[in-house]
A and B are shown apart, each in its own frame.
Chain A
Amino acid sequence: MSDKAFLVDTTKCSGCRSCQVACKQWNENPGEKTEFFAGPELTNPKDLSAITWNHVKFFPLDRSNPEKPSWTIMHKKCYHCETPNCLRVCPEKAISKVDGFVVIDQDKCIGCGACVNECIYKVPGVAAVDYSAAYVPNPGVRANKWYERIQKGKSHKCHACTRNERTVPACAFACPTGALTYDHRLRVIRTAQERLVVVKKDFPKASIYGLKEFDGLRVITILKDAPEKFGLPINPTPINITKVEEINNLYSFFSLFTFGLPFLKRTAYKVARSMTVGDRGLS
């Protein structure tokens, strides 16, 4: 099992979005059709989706210190939680760990959207359009059997390039400034802590995110301010595993009557969830 992790240093990010493009290029994901900008400043598209696994968010310029305005540009992708909600909630056990990273097996995925609902970071997305037919093999990419096509009704997200034959994931490889790096997780944490001391001279409220959340993330982020300012909740409550088990037990029973058809399975899951927790969440 690998012990690798990513380090996102927003104090070094120039917002070139090489990570976002390199991810699409390497994984052959389609571009999204956008108009103007979907989020603050140059953010486009609005967020991660089934076909956008790396995303750069531009926050509005913070002029609260007129001497030194601060502009945060933050790389975001799946945080690869040590104890992921998505993995625990998936009724088909389609989500597993590969080399420590959280990966979805589309062959098992029924597109129920449980992972989408339970990821507090809003990472996975169920594809609305099928792109697998349009897939043209790229002679430059030596895809292994896992190579992922975007299929309609399946959940997709970053797999940390565990499904292609890269030694360094495409996003980290493409980063020109050293804002996104890839290394052993313990080394990443040590680097982050050392860096924080330096960064605090310029940004006294700087913080590190991802050391403890969901038993530790595999994407550690250095921020110019408190994590909440950038939509990252500190110590979020994991989902209630007892309730998850109740739903999944009920779903297992229902799925006996779904003839293996994904749309019936999806309905079965929804019914099981609704019967167990109603409209309430699982945390």
Chain B
Amino acid sequence: MTNHWIDLKNSDVILIMGSNAAENHPISFRWIMKAKEDRGAKIISVDPRFTKTSSLSDIYAPLRPGTDIAFLGGIISYALTKERVNMEYVKEYTNASYLVNPKYGFNNGIFSGYNAGEKKYDTATWAYVLDDKGIPARDTSLKDPNCVYQLMKKHYERYTPEKIEAITGCPKDTFLKVAEMFTSTHKPDKVATIMYAMGITQHTVGTQNVRMFAIMQLLMGNMGMAGGGVNALRGESNVQGSTDAALLWHILPGYLPMILASKHPNFEAYVKATTPKTNDPMSINWWSNRSKYLVSLLKAWYGDAAKKENNFCFDWMPKAIKPSPHILLFEDMYEGKIKGTFFWGTNPVVGGPNANKEAKALERLDWLVAVDIWETDSSIFWKRPGVDPKQIKTEVFLLPAASSMEKEGSVSNSGRWAQWRYKATNPPGGAKADLDMFDMIFRAVRERYKKEGGKFPDPIVNSNWNFTPEGAHEADPHMVAKEINGYTTKDKKQIESFMVLKDDGSTACGNWIYAGSYTGSGNMMARRGTSDKTGLGMYHEWAWCWPVNRRIIYNRASVNRKGEPWDPKRPVVKWTGSAWKGDVVDGGPTAGPEKKNPFIMNAEGVGRLFAPTGLADGPFPEHYEPMESPAQNNLSTQKLNPAVKVLTSDMNKWGDVGRYPYMASSYRVVEHWQAGAMTRNLPWLTELVPNMFCEISPSLAAAKGIKNGDKVKIQSARGEIGAYALVTERVQPLKINGKMTEMVGMIWHFGHGCAATGDSCNQLTPGIGDPNTMIPEYKAFLVDIRKA
């Protein structure tokens, strides 16, 4: 979230799309209902089915899964043609006025620079035109046909309400109501927030879906504002923390790019390639600090061994030889290229896409270590239905883990608040905290390297890994937190913020964005102050929030160039002429708003309506159909996102609408947690949702002779599962290109382990991902259904 949970109460319009927040983030509705009651806020729910969120909304707009860009492109077009944009904000704080290379083009669904053979774009033609000082050239009148504003207008004028109705199934009138309501916040003193989750990201256009939100919020002038922003609702209590700590293949802690063997052979090459440059004096260009954060990270990890002479042991760092997201890891595993795996609180036999393939892939491992609170579906993949355990060679170890109440540490919520929590009780039996397990395994490995040498012992043997206090047997989470915060290497003093980090080896910091979380004054994450000086629910003394306890990021954009808040009633920050007041201001406290641009993480310092770099699949989001879709693309002849790579090994199969006529999507219910290992063992929860079920409309039920509560079989090209049918008015067929198209919605919490068992929806989902992130397309695929 650019903002945070409590901040939802400051919104005037709340667009919830690709999220069933009332179901999956119940606490959000405490603040949404407050916005509704106190401010008369309006709530918009856009969803393929009428959900719990829809039931608490003012407008419900149905939408075919996988057509978000079409819908949102229509809103952008509506805003631009009716000039319902915050023009001053757009001119000053976005790249609307920037001129783009005249060679940039877009034709029939393909942007310039496309290489069809490699399914890749060369982004050279997407670049800005630079003036003689090397600064992007601008036309502040926004009239130049090559300025971003005009290019955007041209791009989205194709997204007419009629086309949107045909593509998405959302009636034109409903769409227009949503567009009108959302764009009402283009006025400086009106603010909309956008809440999204996996319904937006889990598509072959997932990243561009999120881009749409960023563009809309920039046009409305809602970024940086209280009650505004683009807000990703994270699906697990600490998934924000895990992302911050780089539990992803493509980043290092603090969102430093992963080191790639092909592009970053040495320290200089990495720093050069990953440090953006700008000649624009208005740009703060925060990532120009890259080397400070990298060197401090290396100092934290390699300690005294990291010296200037050896480039701080950069060469010891593992370097990615190819992308390794979930789908590709399992492709490699399936092909027998991976010998052993740790499953640390993950259950891919239920949660992974094309789960039959993932279960099969596990059979090709020599060993598997599963770490979890309970036996999971994945840890017993060798006795799943239809397989003979004797034929499976994989050796499986199950390590019992402590639950969240049985260990101490920090949890970072969606709003980036790192909150310290304490151990309430000891874990049962031999169960251990994850930290203890990591620590014991690492120390055992290090001992063995010390004794036996091995091919390349240096990084392991010399690593700065000392988290167990003298005389203790267990690792201390405080010691880990202190390293994450960072310290001076000479006198080992905790640092106060990342402003003091250096690239000369004098500072160590495990994650620069968490610098300030555990300072010389103590553990900031454990603070529980309840004063709220801003009156906006920021609670600066409650826990700690990255970066530098800033509760709303990009908050420089909440004021005009004079430093006056766009909405004087909701001032996030204001400039007094010499100092900033309010929230911890973005980009350092000294420069005033007239001197520096607000979007400090972009080299140009302004928000990108058009993305000249950073995306694999185009500078503007464009509508493409899901891999499996019931319809042709109405906007071009390019059906699938042209940058998507399609895997071809034998268990990757794709269905067409002739054989699998119904749209399908997957989702969660509040009663169950992700892949279900934590909840399918709890009788209070299985009382509420005891079985795998799907949701279908009364019309599909009638056509198929299915009654509410009947057992059904659902098939995709990748498998068949059993489920109960919930026949409900909440699901309705949508009119797509004039044809009524039915949908089958499914929960995905069930599997064959645990107390309450059932088939997993993911036995049906496709193993295909977004070209930027490879997040699987769980949310739109094709199935058939029949009475069992």
Q: Give chain A's interface residues, CB within 8 Å of chain B.
A: 11-12, 14-18, 20-21, 24-25, 30-37, 41-42, 44-45, 60-61, 63, 68-71, 73, 176-178, 198, 202
Residues of A near B58 (CB, < 8 A) are 202
Decide yes or no whether B724 CB sits under 8 A from chain A.
Answer: yes
Q: Could you say which residues of chain B place their CB within 8 Å of the CB of A35?
A: 690-691
Chain B interface, number of residues (Cβ within 8 angstroms): 37
Beta-carbon contact of B55 and A73 below 8 Å: yes
* B687 lies within 8 A of A16 (CB): no
Which residues on B sit within 8 Å (CB–CB) of A20?
688
9 closest pairs, A vs B, by CB?
Answer: A31-B683, A14-B22, A31-B687, A71-B55, A61-B729, A16-B26, A176-B26, A177-B29, A36-B724
Residues of A within 8 A of B37 (CB): 198
Contact (Cβ within 8 A) B687 A45: yes
Complex CA distance for A36 and B686, rounded to whole angstroms: 10
Which of chain B's residues 52-86 have a Cβ closer than 8 Å to chain A?
A: 52-56, 58, 60
B726 interface residue (CB < 8 Å to A):
yes
- B748 at the A/B interface (Cβ < 8 Å)? no
Q: B693 near A: Cβ within 8 Å?
A: yes
- List residues of chain B with CB under 8 Å of any chain A CB: 22-23, 26-27, 29-30, 33-34, 37, 50, 52-56, 58, 60, 669-671, 682-691, 693, 709, 724, 726, 728-730
The answer to whether A177 and B730 have CB atoms under 8 Å apart is no
* B50 → chain A closest CB, angstroms: 6
Q: Using Cβ atoms and an 8 Å threshold, which residues of chain A touch B685? A: 21, 31
- B670, A17: Cβ atoms closer than 8 Å: yes
Closest-CB distance, A180 to chain B (whole angstroms)? 12
**Chain A residues whose CB sits within 8 angstroms of the CB of B26 once the complex forms:** 14, 16, 18, 176-177
A30 to B686, CA, bound (A): 11
Question: Bound state CA distance, A178 and B32, in angstroms?
Answer: 11
Known pairs A16-B670, A69-B60; A42 contacts B33 (CB<8 A): no
- Compute how far the CA of A35 lies from the CA of B693 in the bound complex, rounded to whole angstroms: 11
What's the Cα separation between A24 and B685 when bound, in Å?
Answer: 10
Give complex CA distance A15, B709 in Å.
20
Bound complex: CA A220 to CA B690 (Å): 31
Identify the interface centre among B55, B685, B690: most chain A CB within 10 Å of its CB. B55
Please pick, from A30, A63, A69, A176, the residue contacting B29 in the complex, using a CB distance under 8 A.
A176
> Per a CB cutoff under 8 Å, which of A36, A61, A176, A202 touches B730?
A61
- Some 23 contacts from A to B, beta carbons below 8 A apart, are A11-B56, A12-B56, A14-B23, A14-B55, A15-B23, A16-B22, A25-B684, A31-B685, A33-B687, A35-B690, A35-B691, A36-B690, A36-B693, A44-B689, A61-B50, A69-B50, A71-B52, A73-B52, A73-B55, A176-B30, A177-B33, A178-B30, A178-B34
The CA of A157 and the CA of B690, in the complex, are separated in Å by 24
Q: Is the CB of B709 within 8 A of A14?
A: no
Contacts of A70 in B (CB 8 A): 55
**Told that A14-B52, A31-B683, A71-B50 touch, could you supply 10 new A-B pairs with CB distance under 8 A?**
A15-B52, A25-B684, A31-B682, A31-B686, A36-B726, A42-B688, A44-B690, A69-B50, A71-B55, A198-B37
The answer to whether A24 touches B709 (Cβ under 8 A) is: no
Pair B56/A31 contact, Cβ less than 8 Å:
no
- What chain A residues lie within 8 Å of B30 (beta carbons)? 176-178
Q: Which residues of B contact A32 (CB under 8 A)?
A: 687
Q: Are B730 and A71 in contact (CB under 8 A)?
A: yes
CA distance A14 to B45 in the complex (A): 14
Kindly list chain B residues whose C-beta atoms are within 8 Å of the C-beta of A63.
729
Q: Is the CB of A14 within 8 A of B688?
A: no
Q: How far is the CA of A178 from the CA of B27 in the complex (A)?
A: 10
Bound CA–CA A15/B690 (angstroms): 17
**Structural contact, B709 and A16, CB atoms closer than 8 A:** no
How distant is the Cα of A176 from the Cα of B21 in the complex, in angstroms? 12
For B689, list chain A residues within 8 Å (CB): 42, 44
